[in-house]
Homo-oligomer: A and B are copies of this chain.
Amino acid sequence: MEDLVTPRQVAKAIDVSESSVKRWCDRGIIPSVKTAGGHRRIPISSVMTYLRSTSQPLVSPEVLGLPAAVGRTAWVLTRARDEVVKSLLAGDEIKTRQILFDLWLGGRSIAVIGDEVIAPAFEKIGEGWSCSEVDIYQERRAVEIMLRILFELRLGTPPGDPGRIAIGGTTSGDNYSLPTTLVEVVLQAAGWTARSMGSSVPPQSFAAAIEHTQPRLFWLSVSASQSPEEFLEGLALIEQACQKTGTKLVIGGAGSLPMRERFSSGVQVCSNMGELSDLATRLAAESSPPAEL
């Protein structure tokens, strides 16, 4: 796990000449730093960003210390989803990572990957589970694998503005940690410093977290359909805290849709990661006017 690599390593990894890499560094196309002696050192995240922007294939990821089998194929979203379901059920972390990283390096946003691949894949796995084609351990293992991959993607995304803080999670009774983790990564990609507080947090504790952290954004991921009354009661507490601190409150997830009419007007509802990403980008632009160079 190296963070800084040399031009030669990058050249080998993406199969171009060393000269080109050096030129790109000097022109700022690949942001890099120099040692005291003038040698270039390139952060892996710079390489990732460059690859994403040009849709270049990563030929030899192992040279960068990245897990093997990252980057090669151009995937169609629907096809990718089916393959992800297959490799997740087989417990094949390598294959799953390959597919998702290929999509990501191919320039797709995490939000799109979430909406078009990850969410439908787990929906499918959930279906298979309910008609007992899928064993519980397969579903749990799939969640674990996806969590690891999401964290790796998060490492490849530049950290957000430390002044734009977002927190969130799921309330009591909701144990699905995957969606709220996905939200965290999506928000970081949108320039936020986001941290999920995990799942099954009581509303009053969320309220305390909001008042203590004073985030600009708070998200609630509602996966399972739960008792609307109980949820709305807890939501009131959270809303109150948000108003006190001037925090924008965002709710999403399948479980929230049946109740969306009963939310008060200040609450923003997102039905997928794409909407959330747009909203987050808009909020970020509002709060801090476009910085000039």
Contacts and interface: CB of A to CB of B under 8 A. Distances in A.
A154 B93 CA distance: 14
Contacts of A35: 16, 20, 54, 56
Contacts of A137: 169, 197, 201, 205-206, 208-209
A50 interface: yes
Nearest to A175: B175
Given A29-B36, A43-B57, A91-B195, 13 more contacts: A3-B15, A15-B41, A20-B37, A33-B54, A137-B197, A137-B205, A137-B206, A141-B197, A144-B195, A147-B147, A148-B154, A151-B152, A175-B175
A1 interface: yes
Q: How many chain copies does the complex carry?
A: 2
Contact of A3 (B27, B59, B197): B59
Interface of A: 1-4, 15-16, 20, 24, 27, 29-30, 33-37, 41, 43, 50, 54-57, 59, 91, 93, 135-138, 140-141, 143-145, 147-148, 151-152, 154-156, 169, 175, 195-202, 205-206, 208-209, 213
A56 B29 contact: no
A267 to B, nearest CB: 20
A93 B136 contact: no
Contact of A205 (B135, B175, B202): B135
Interface of A is mostly: mixed
Contact of A54 (B36, B156, B199): B36
Given A3-B15, A93-B195, A201-B137, A56 B41 contact: yes
Contacts of A197: 137, 140-141, 144
Contacts of A50: 36
A136 B201 contact: yes
